[in-house]
Structure 1
Amino acid sequence: MYAIVESGGKQYKAEPGAVLKLEKLAGEPGDEILLDQVLLVADGEQVQVGRPVLEDKVVRGRIVEQARHKKVVIFKYKRRKDYHKKQGHRQYYTAVRIEGIEDRAAQS
């Protein structure tokens, strides 16, 4: 069983037990998090597709860590013009361990 969820403008494949590196979310390690922008749920041969989201499904996860990715180097250069510029960037992320894909009715 897996689900396609949207978080931070990006789409991720969420399977129970998997660890996803999502764009930074509020919370501390150990906090529970609910991802409610579920676009698709597949369970064997049965596939549910949202238009645009599935209102009755939610993905439950737990924050593992808050950290930063490896550095990305941006190097700009113009030949023969004595111009070069070097920049670096490290994006923040939240690592989330997926615990399950559930019906929203089970949340209440």
Structure 2
Amino acid sequence: MFAVIKTGGKQYTVAADKEITVMTLAGEAGSQVVFNEVLALFDGETSTIGAPHVAGASVTAEIVEQARGPKVYAFKKRRRKNSKRKRGHRQDLTIVKITAIQPGA
């Protein structure tokens, strides 16, 4: 069984025991997180598509760690003007491990 969930403005395909990296979620490593925005459920021959969400369905996950993404540089240069700007950014991320998928009623 696998599901499509929405969190942080993005959609993820998840299955049991799969680790995914999502935008920052509140919580410490080892704590449980429940995703209620389940967009679709697929179980072999049956599939349930939500409109927009599957009623009663949820996905439970455990936070593995709070991490940061790679450094991304934003560099702007205006030629012949002696003007430039360099900025760095690292996105805060959360790595979660899917523990269970509960289908809706």
Q: For residues 68-79 of structure 1, what are the structure 2 equivalents within 5 Å?
A: 68-79=68-79
State the alpha-carbon separation in 1 of the partners of residues 15 and 35 from structure 2. Answer: 13
- TM-score by length of structure 2 reads 0.93
AA at the equivalent of 1:56: G
What is the aligned partner in structure 1 of residue 37 from structure 2? 37
Misfit runs of 4+, over 6 Å:
none
Q: For residues 80-91 of structure 1, what are the structure 2 equivalents within 5 Å?
A: 80-91=80-91
What is the aligned partner in structure 1 of residue 49 from structure 2? 49
DSSP 3-state at the match of 1:30: coil
What is the aligned partner in structure 2 of residue 22 from structure 1? 22
What is the aligned partner in structure 2 of residue 101 from structure 1? 101
Q: Tell whether 2:2 aligns with 1:2.
A: yes
Q: What percentage of residue pairs aligned between the two structures are identical?
A: 41
- TM-score by length of structure 1 reads 0.91
CA root-mean-square deviation? 1.3
- Structure 1 residue 104 displacement after superposition: 5.5
Query: Where in structure 1 are there 5+ consecutive unaligned residues?
Result: none
AA at the equivalent of 2:56: D
- Structure 1 residue 34 displacement after superposition: 0.6
AA at the equivalent of 2:18: A
- Structure 1 residue 8 displacement after superposition: 1.0
Aligned length: 105
